[in-house]
Structure 1
Amino acid sequence: MDFDPRSPFRRRTALEAGVSAKSLRGPAFRQVLPGAYVAATTTLTPLVRARAALLPYDDVAWASHATAARVYDLPIPTIAEEHVSVARAGLRRRHRGVRAHVGGEAPTRYVDGVRVSAPEMLFVEMAGVLGLVDLVVLGDAMVRRRLVTPEELVRFCSEVRHKAVAAARRAASYVRAKVDSPMETRLRMLIVLAGLPEPVVNLEVRDERGEVIRKYDLAYPAVRVAVEYNGKVHVLTLEAWEADLGRRDDIDDSGWRLLPVIGSGIYRDPLSTLRRVHRVLLARGLPGTPLRLDDTWRAHFPGHADAA
Structure 2
Amino acid sequence: MEPPPRRPSPLTGPPPDHDLLLRTLRPVLAQLSPDAVAFGRTAAYVWGVDLHPQGTSVTRNRLHVAVPPGVGGAARAGVIAHRERLPEAERTRVHGVRVTTRARTALDVAVQSTSLYAATAALDRFLALRLTSEELLRAAALVHPRRSQRQLRRALGLADGRSQSPAESWTRVLLHQVDLPRAVPQCPVSTMEGDFRVDLGWPAYRVAVEYDSAEHHSLPIDRARDRLRYRAMEEAEWIVIPIGVFDLCARPAGFLRRVMGALTERGWSGTPERTAGVWRAIRRIERHPRRLG
TM-score by length of 2: 0.78
Q: Which residue of 1 aligns with 2:11?
A: none
Q: Which residue of 2 aligns with 1:133?
A: 117
* 1:281 and 2:263 are equivalent in the alignment: yes
* 1:238 and 2:220 are equivalent in the alignment: yes
How far apart are the structure 1 equivalents of 2:169 and 2:30? 36
Which of 217, 222, 225 is residue 199 of structure 2 equivalent to? 217
How far apart are the structure 2 equivalents of 1:240 and 1:230? 10
- Structure 1: unaligned runs, 5 residues or longer: 1-41, 304-308
Task: Note the C-alpha offset of 1:207.
Answer: 6.9
Which of 176, 179, 199 is residue 160 of structure 2 equivalent to? 176
Where relative contact order (Cα < 8 A, 6+ residues apart) is larger, the structure is 2
* 1:290 and 2:275 are equivalent in the alignment: yes
Where do 1:1-308 residues align within 5 Å?
45-78=20-53, 81-86=62-67, 88-96=68-76, 97-98=78-79, 99-105=81-87, 107-130=90-113, 131-146=115-130, 148-166=131-149, 167-206=151-190, 213-233=195-215, 235-288=217-270, 290-291=275-276, 292-294=279-281, 301-302=290-291
Task: Note the C-alpha offset of 1:159.
Answer: 3.5
| Structure in which a larger fraction of residues adopt helix | 2
Identify the range of structure 1 (58-67 vs 114-123) with the bigger mean alpha-carbon deviation. Answer: 58-67
TM-score by length of 1: 0.74
Q: Secondary structure at the match of 1:216?
A: strand
CA gap 1:195/1:123 in 2 versus in 1, 3 angstroms: same
Letter of the 1:294 partner, please give it: A
Deviations 1:235-255 (A, max 9, x none): 522211221222122112111
How far apart are the structure 2 equivalents of 1:217 and 1:242? 18
How far apart are the structure 1 equivalents of 2:18 and 2:92? 23
Instruction: Point out the structure with max Rg over C-alpha.
Output: 1
CA gap 1:43/1:225 in 2 versus in 1, 3 angstroms: closer
Letter of the 1:214 partner, please give it: F
Q: Percent identity?
A: 27
Paired residues of 2:93 and 2:99 also in contact (CA < 8 A): yes
Q: How well do the aligned residues superpose, as a CA RMSD in angstroms?
A: 2.8
Deviations 1:8-36 (A, max 9, x none): xxxxxxxxxxxxxxxxxxxxxxxxxxxxx
CA gap 1:113/1:128 in 2 versus in 1, 3 angstroms: same
- Count how many residue pairs are aligned between Structure 1 and Structure 2: 258
Deviations 1:174-226 (A, max 9, x none): 11131111111011111111221110111123479xx9712111101111000
Letter of the 2:146 partner, please give it: K
How far apart are the structure 2 equivalents of 1:72 and 1:228? 28
Letter of the 2:275 partner, please give it: P
CA gap 1:297/1:142 in 2 versus in 1, 3 angstroms: farther
- Structure 2: unaligned runs, 5 residues or longer: 1-16
